[in-house]
Amino acid sequence: MSFGGPPKISIKPEPPLRGSFPLDHEGECKSAMARYLACLEARHGSGKKCRDLSKDYLECRMQRKLMNRDKWENLGFHDADADGRTTRGPQKGSGV
């Protein structure tokens, strides 16, 4: 038994839940990605506008076969309509 050394822990890597995420080598969605990242930086990762920009980026990737097409609900956008835009419903506590 040795003292002071790091513990010997074996970590088994796991594949991503949704499979591979091909890189955009041709830069087809680079402008959408740049707008999304700039929004996140400016708003510290929050805001409805960033959410719409993330949808634009994912839509670009789906159109160019850089990821499989999926329902918005499966991608974490539970309040999206059929076009992928955020729908507005009554806000909590608004009394409507």
Q: Tens digit of pLDDT for each residue in 8-27?
A: 777 777 766 666 667 888 99
Q: Would residue 89 count as lying in a domain?
A: no
Q: Would residue 61 count as lying in a domain?
A: yes
Instruction: Give the total number of structural domains in the chain.
Output: 1
Q: Would residue 8 count as lying in a domain?
A: no
Domain membership of residue 55 as a residue range: 30-75
- Residue 88 tokens read as 């507005």
Q: Tens digit of pLDDT for each residue in 20-59?
A: 667 888 999 999 999 999 998 898 767 777 999 999 999 9
pTM for the predicted model, two decimal places: 0.62
Count the alpha carbons within 13 Å of 1 in the hemisphere toward its beta carbon. 1
Report yes or no: 54 and 36 within 8 Å, Cβ to Cβ.
yes
Q: Would residue 83 count as lying in a domain?
A: no
